[in-house]
């Protein structure tokens, strides 16, 4: 798809693959290509789940500091919107997304991983938001998504200190969901993604929307978001197939078409 980001699809699972040697630094071009990849995966009806992957050695070591080092406030005031746009596009993929983390996922790299629904990390992986050491803070969603995922105090600890977090601690914090052998990270993520391929795509999208939008608002508003997503599914073929299959054959027998 792009020079540094490509989309590979097999069996209903799309892999959004970062490939910018040596450390997948997220310069402007990579950010734009990630946004383009996210839109392509979102619009492809043949894709039912996706994996974010940086390769066997590293997920992504962060933003391209050389590119940002000489930017003025005026330049960054404009550029910062673009910086968040690509992570918004990834987070908005209306399908289950799993980040497969090998090596380092630091700064912008962790912010990319935070856009996923789930994170699988290798035993030697390290994650963190080290921007404070550069005299800045995370700018692609890190202060917001990290706090929502692991809680305010724990997010402040990681962001204020800028420290690297090893896989076992990341698991304990809830920052990653599974830790596996380094050479099994991608296969584990793909296997997990495949569990969603034959599921009801519209219901999965509705669940993601209800949870992600609902967590941003008060309970009553969240309940209304849930109600609308729930009732809307009664216009789908999958809802009819799911309920008919349950009544006639029992749970887990329905075949879904994504319609």
**CATH number for 122:** 3.90.226.10
Residues 144 and 16 in one domain: yes
Q: Which residues contact 77 (CB under 8 A, 6 or more apart)?
A: none
Residue where the block lists tokens 């550069």: 134
Its domain, for residue 121, covers 5-194
Angle at CA of residue 87, ends 186 and 194, nearest 5°: 30
Examine residue 257 and state whether it is found in any structural domain, yes or no: no
Residues 150 and 45 in one domain: yes
| pLDDT value, residue 182 | 97
Residues 52 and 152 in one domain: yes
pTM of the shown model? 0.94
Residues 168 and 238 in one domain: no
User: What letter does residue 227 receive in the DSSP assignment?
Assistant: H
Which of these is catalytic: 131, 169, 188, 224? 131
Examine residue 25 and state whether it is found in any structural domain, yes or no: yes
- Residue 173: how many other CB atoms lie within 10 Å: 18
User: In angstroms, rounded to a whole number, what is the distance separating the alpha carbons of residues 162 and 131?
Assistant: 6
| pLDDT value, residue 92 | 97
**The last residue of a domain, from among 164, 194, 224:** 194
Residues 182 and 205 in one domain: no
User: What letter does residue 217 receive in the DSSP assignment?
Assistant: S
Q: Total domain count for the chain? A: 2
Residues 73 and 112 in one domain: yes
Residues 128 and 207 in one domain: no
Examine residue 54 and state whether it is found in any structural domain, yes or no: yes
The dihedral region occupied by 179, where left means phi > 0, alpha psi between -120 and 50, and beta the remainder, is: beta
Examine residue 59 and state whether it is found in any structural domain, yes or no: yes
In the residue annotation, 249 being an active-site residue is answered as no
Reference 12, options 198, 188, 248, 252; nearest CA is 198
Residues 109 and 185 in one domain: yes
CATH value at residue 228 = 1.10.12
In the residue annotation, 226 being an active-site residue is answered as no
Residues 9 and 36 in one domain: yes
126 φ, ψ (degrees, to nearest 5): -135, 135
Q: Sheet with 165-166: list strands edge to edge.
A: 104-106, 126-128, 165-166
| pLDDT value, residue 249 | 86
Written as tens digits, the pLDDT of the chain (259 aa) is 789 999 999 999 999 999 999 999 999 999 999 999 999 999 999 999 999 999 999 999 887 788 888 888 988 888 888 889 999 999 999 999 999 999 999 999 999 999 999 999 999 999 999 999 999 999 999 999 999 999 999 999 999 999 999 999 999 999 999 999 999 999 999 999 999 999 999 999 999 999 999 999 999 999 999 999 999 999 999 999 999 989 988 888 888 998 9
Residues 176 and 91 in one domain: yes
Examine residue 255 and state whether it is found in any structural domain, yes or no: no
**Helices within 121-218 (DSSP H only):** 142-150, 152-161, 167-173, 185-194, 201-214
Which of these is catalytic: 3, 111, 188, 216? 111
User: In angstroms, rounded to a whole number, what is the distance separating the alpha carbons of residues 52 and 115?
Assistant: 10
Count of alpha carbons within 13 angstroms of residue 169, beta-carbon side: 10
Residues 57 and 118 in one domain: yes
| pLDDT value, residue 66 | 80
Examine residue 258 and state whether it is found in any structural domain, yes or no: no
| pLDDT value, residue 61 | 87
Beta carbons of 139 and 125 less than 8 angstroms apart = no
Residues 184 and 207 in one domain: no
Examine residue 101 and state whether it is found in any structural domain, yes or no: yes
Examine residue 155 and state whether it is found in any structural domain, yes or no: yes
- Residue 249: how many other CB atoms lie within 10 Å: 10
């Amino acid at each position: 798809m792009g020079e540094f980001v490509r989309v590979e699809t097999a069996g209903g699972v799309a892999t959004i693959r970062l490939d910018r040697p040596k450390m997948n630094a997220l310069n402007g071009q990579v950010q734009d290509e990630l946004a383009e990849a996210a839109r392509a995966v979102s619009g492809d009806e043949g894709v039912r789940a996706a994996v974010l992957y940086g390769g066997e050695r590293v997920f992504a070591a962060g933003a391209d500091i050389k590119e940002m080092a000489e930017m003025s406030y005026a330049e960054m005031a404009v550029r910062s919107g673009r910086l968040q746009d690509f992570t918004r596009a990834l987070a908005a993929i209306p399908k289950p997304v799993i980040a497969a983390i090998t090596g380092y996922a630091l700064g912008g790299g962790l912010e990319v991983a935070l856009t996923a629904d789930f994170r699988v990390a290798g035993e030697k992986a390290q994650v963190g938001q080290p921007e404070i050491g550069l005299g800045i803070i995370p700018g692609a969603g890190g202060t917001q998504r990290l706090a929502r995922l692991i809680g305010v105090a724990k997010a402040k600890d990681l962001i204020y200190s800028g420290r690297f977090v090893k896989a076992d601690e990341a698991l304990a914090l809830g920052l990653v969901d599974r830790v596996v052998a380094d050479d099994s990270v991608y296969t584990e993520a793909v296997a997990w993604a495949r569990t969603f391929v034959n599921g009801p795509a519209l219901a999965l999208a509705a669940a993601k929307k209800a949870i992600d939008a609902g967590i941003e608002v008060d309970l009553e508003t969240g309940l209304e978001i849930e109600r609308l997503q729930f009732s809307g599914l009664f216009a789908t073929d999958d809802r009819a197939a799911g309920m008919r299959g349950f009544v006639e054959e029992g749970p887990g027998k329905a075949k879904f078409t994504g319609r």
